[in-house]
Amino acid sequence: MVKLMTISFGVRRASAAAMGAALFVSSLAAASSAVATPAAAAQDAASCGGTVTVINAGFEEPRIVSRSVELLPAEQVPGWTTNDAQNRIEIWSDGAVGVPSAEGAQFTELNATSASTLFQTVATTPGQRLSWSLQHRGRAGTDVMRVLIGAPGGPLTQSGPDISDGDTAWGIHRGTYTVPAGQTSTVFAFEAVSSVGGDATGNFLDDVTVSTGPCLVSDKSVTNLTRPDAVAQVGDVLRYTVTARNDGGSAVAATVSDDVLESGLGFVPGSLRILSGAGAGPLTDQAGDDRGEYDVASRTVRVRLGDGGSASQGGSLPAAGATTYSFDAKVTAAGAGRDVVNAATVRSGEPDGDDRSVSTTPTVRTPVAAATDLAIVKTLDRPLVAGETASFTLTASNRGPQTATGVTVTDPIPAGLTDVRATPSQGDCDVTGGTITCALPDLVPGAKATVVVTGTVPADTAAGTEIANTARVTGALTDLDPENDVATASGTVVVSADLAIEKTASAQAVPPNGTVTYTLTVRNAGPSAARSVRVEDVLPRGLRDATAAGLGCTSGDGTLGCDLGTLPAGESRVVTVTAVIDQAAAGTDLANTATVSTTTVDPDPSDNSSTATTHVLNLPKADETPKPGETAKPGEKPASAPPAAAAGADAGILGITGGIVAGLPWAIGLLAAGGILTLAAWLRRARRS
């Protein structure tokens, strides 16, 4: 039968005579050439370039009689040519002369009528790494052969060492060959070197294969789990899926995939899992407990793939075998405004460690929208005082990495502020509908812009009222840290009312039993409303029958009290107190002091009291008028010597002119308001005399 081996593109056969002659010369030239060193090959292409076909690899055609040996003309043996002296190929059937075949029902003997070489040319792809294998056995002892490979018509190079086997068992031998650039056809030659039985005897050959060997092909895809958009945002989670398959003709061993995450991607813990193939299921992120891990230091996702994979070594992928794994990565700030790229490298090693196969996946790219980190800080510039202007400063900044565009600050006007204004350091602000909106210019990384917000705290705001002001900054780009886009500044309102009281009397001098009126004026210079304003007037001895005209005034125990309630800033209240002067107060000065108080903090209590002083006249009674020349009482002057100045002063007070005043006793000069009745008595006495 015909054996088909993976990896080759068709077969070309030359005539027995022409090929035999040409390759005989080639084989002689190759006898002294260097042995080829196996080389590693990177399989980055989408495929391994097709299949290689070795025709009649087990020498199963033509079929000969069972347990027989035949020397056949080369043209009767499909796929093969020879440089045998008689152009013969010797075919043995299984069990002939007691020798079993290595595989199938037939095999060949290289030493036919002479120590010969068998050739086959296969179509190949430049850069392919081909693997060959065969089984060899001595006939009468230890025979030696070798494998030669090269371009048609050119020198053939030995691949691997000489092959030596005894006559008791078949030996299996392997080697590799990398197709040079430009070489689309490759000759494989199997040459008899020596044999115990002589040139026409020895070197059994069976089960020849030529394949691409292990050919890893890997692929990668990415899916945005956060949004379906083609452009990702910082913070989106991307799922990377890696598939590794073996498109070669033999198994690959120790298969490991490494995926280094570039800046802009952050591994999502707990996301690593094998989706299909050996070891399917979730993997931990730690090393040493299963097939996969994430190494933080090198930022590498590592998965050991294939059959038999473990925590310490990769497994095997058979020909046509495949496995798939995935993991998630989060787009970080470093990826903003560019493409984040990712590729995995899958490596495999044969058990002997000499043969390596490497495949790098296509690089997948995910465009990421530009982003920046806008932040806002808000401060209260000074304490909040009822009746005064409050000031807040908003500072918007760009912490990068890109220039922030469309920067907008919004600030709902807090309850408790009136006449609000906003002044930006740059840009424009508008106060409409209870909200401040400021359009700021583009901010490069590190740049700042400020907005000063002012407003009046109503004067009647209660102490302890909290006023909080919250502002937000936004921009056209993705914001890397939304938590610092909002800032609040708050303060507790304090109150301050500068109260003052002024007290005046209706007259400077009043006779006993006369009436005096006091006017108490209370003013609030602010800035806050004064709450629970109270005026108290403690009446001095010598005043009686006091009454007060004003809201909330009461009297008792010689004290007048007036509760005026709340006095707004800039306003005043007047209280009028009327009292009668006691006779006993004659000749004294009555000092009457009133005070004002409030539960609101008063920054200047020095003007919270005021005193008005009234002199009480000391006038004689009607029946105690001194005669001219009588001795005056202490403190009084004799009636016979009234000072003109005093008489003139009294006349001024009473509005009296003419000779009558001059003829009156000097005491009239001491009269004040209320002295008219006394004067009348004095006038009557003057007439009687």
What's the CATH code of the domain at 327? 2.60.40.740
Domain contains 640: yes
| Helix or strand run (H / E) with residue 684 | helix 676-688
Domain contains 6: no
Domain contains 568: yes
pLDDT given for residue 23 in this prediction: 35
User: CA 159, 163, 169, 171 torsion: positive or negative?
Assistant: negative
Number of domains in the chain: 5
DSSP letter at 321 equals -
Distance of alpha carbon 255 from alpha carbon 496, whole angstroms: 81
Helix, strand, coil shares of the chain, percent, nearest 5, are 10, 45, 45
CATH code (residue 90): 2.60.120.260
Range of the domain at 521: 497-616
Residue 541's Cα: distance from chain center in Å?
A: 79
CATH code (residue 536): 2.60.40.1530
What is the mean pLDDT for each group of 10 consecutive residues in the chain (689 residues)?
30 33 35 28 48 88 96 97 97 97 97 96 88 95 98 96 97 94 96 95 95 83 95 95 87 92 96 97 95 97 96 91 97 93 88 61 95 95 94 95 94 92 96 95 96 94 93 93 94 95 95 95 94 93 88 82 93 94 93 94 95 89 50 43 35 32 35 39 34
- Give yes or no: residues 244 and 341 share one domain: yes
Domain contains 44: yes
Domain contains 93: yes
Mark which of 441, 466, 492 sits at the end of a domain: 492
What are 312-315's contacts with CB under 8 Å, separation 24+? 312/288, 313/254, 314/253, 314/254, 314/255, 314/256, 314/347, 314/348, 314/349, 315/253, 315/254, 315/255, 315/278, 315/279
| Helix or strand run (H / E) with residue 412 | strand 408-412
- Give yes or no: residues 358 and 262 share one domain: yes
What are 631's two structure tokens? Answer: 């001795």
pLDDT given for residue 620 in this prediction: 66
- Give yes or no: residues 199 and 53 share one domain: yes
Mark which of 184, 211, 238 sits at the end of a domain: 211
pLDDT given for residue 183 in this prediction: 94
Mark which of 455, 473, 492 sits at the end of a domain: 492
- Give yes or no: residues 54 and 142 share one domain: yes
- Give yes or no: residues 54 and 139 share one domain: yes
Domain contains 89: yes
Residue matched to tokens 């050959």: 205
- Give yes or no: residues 154 and 48 share one domain: yes
- Give yes or no: residues 337 and 238 share one domain: yes
- Give yes or no: residues 51 and 167 share one domain: yes
Distance of alpha carbon 630 from alpha carbon 86, whole angstroms: 190
pLDDT given for residue 610 in this prediction: 96
pTM, 2 dp: 0.55
Distance of alpha carbon 122 from alpha carbon 54, whole angstroms: 7
- Give yes or no: residues 384 and 476 share one domain: yes
User: Burial letters for 356-384: b for 16+ Cβ neighbours within 10 Å, e otherwise?
Assistant: bbbbbbeebebebbbbbbbbbbbebeeeb
pLDDT given for residue 46 in this prediction: 44
- Give yes or no: residues 158 and 301 share one domain: no
- Give yes or no: residues 505 and 414 share one domain: no
- Give yes or no: residues 414 and 435 share one domain: yes
pLDDT given for residue 556 in this prediction: 75
pLDDT given for residue 573 in this prediction: 94
637 bridge partner residues: none
Domain contains 4: no
What are 168's two structure tokens? Answer: 């008791």
Domain contains 1: no
